[in-house]
């Protein structure tokens, strides 16, 4: 697992060829109504990009979220985000699955906008795909710090700050 990531500055256009490459496919397995555009997901994924990545972000309904979580994590309930890593060689490849109705419900309960919560979970999934995890308190601290930094640069509030609905 990476221990000291470097977030590449994207301000120098002459260095563009040295940027990590993102290939992103966004799939809507639910109605797009009220959801951000694929371009928004691209912006969020790119903000968390540390390595070359081929990724599909798929937004799913309750039943698909439940089926995937039951099948792969042996849990009988949907989860907000699942990350599947298919290749740890460059380019990294995988899927990020977001259970849209659960994410919407969580956003409402936490007093956040749906867009801010989706941005956070997309960044979270991208970091998982690139080798970060939160299995230990030290790993969680590193990952949450990166998420907060990235989300802040995107113009959203700290996803771990306490809010009241």
Tens digits of residue pLDDT in 60-76? 999 999 999 999 999 99
pLDDT digits (tens, 9 = 90+) for 14-31: 445 567 999 999 999 999
Is the pLDDT at 151 greater than 50? The verdict is yes
Residues 6+ apart with CB under 8 A from 43: 154
Q: What are phi and psi of 2, to 5 degrees?
A: -60, 140
pLDDT digits (tens, 9 = 90+) for 40-59: 999 999 999 999 999 999 99
* Mean pLDDT value across the chain: 89
Half-sphere exposure of 79 (CA within 13 A, CB side): 16
- Looking at residue 18, what is its pLDDT? 63
C-alpha distances out from residue 102 to 19, 62, 81, 97, 112, Å: 33, 7, 9, 12, 13
User: Which residue segments constitute the domains of the chain, with CATH numbers given?
Assistant: 20-153 (3.40.390.30)
C-alpha distances out from residue 23 to 36, 90, 92, 151, Å: 18, 12, 10, 21
Paired with 87 in beta bridges are 93
Residues 6+ apart with CB under 8 A from 36: 114, 115, 118
Number of H helices, E strands in the chain: 5, 4
Is the pLDDT at 163 greater than 80? The verdict is no
Q: Kindly tell me the sign of the dihedral angle through the C-alpha atoms of 146, 36, 90, 137.
A: positive
Is the pLDDT at 111 greater than 80? The verdict is yes
The CA-CA-CA angle for residues 144, 35, 59, to 5°, reads 70
- Looking at residue 13, what is its pLDDT? 41
Distance (Å, whole) CA 141 – CA 156: 19
Q: Find out whether 21 and 52 touch, Cβ atoms under 8 Å.
A: yes
- Looking at residue 17, what is its pLDDT? 54
Is the pLDDT at 3 greater than 50? The verdict is no
- Looking at residue 148, what is its pLDDT? 97
Is the pLDDT at 9 greater than 60? The verdict is no
- Looking at residue 80, what is its pLDDT? 96
């Amino acid at each position: 697992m990476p221990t000291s990531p470097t977030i590449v500055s994207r301000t120098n256009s002459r260095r563009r060829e040295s940027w990590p490459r993102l290939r992103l496919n966004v799939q809507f397995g639910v109605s797009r109504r009220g959801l951000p555009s694929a371009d928004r997901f691209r912006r969020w994924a790119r903000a968390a990009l540390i390595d070359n990545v081929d990724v599909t972000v798929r937004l799913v309904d309750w039943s698909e979220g439940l089926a995937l979580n039951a099948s792969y994590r042996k849990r009988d309930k949907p989860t907000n985000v699942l990350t599947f890593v298919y290749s740890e060689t460059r380019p990294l490849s995988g899927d990020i699955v977001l259970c849209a109705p659960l994410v919407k419900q969580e956003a409402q309960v936490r007093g956040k906008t749906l867009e801010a919560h989706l941005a956070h979970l997309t960044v979270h999934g991208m970091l998982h795909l690139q080798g970060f995890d939160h299995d230990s308190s030290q790993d969680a601290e590193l990952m949450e710090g990166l998420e907060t930094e990235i989300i802040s640069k995107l113009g959203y509030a700290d996803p771990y700050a306490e809010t009241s609905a």
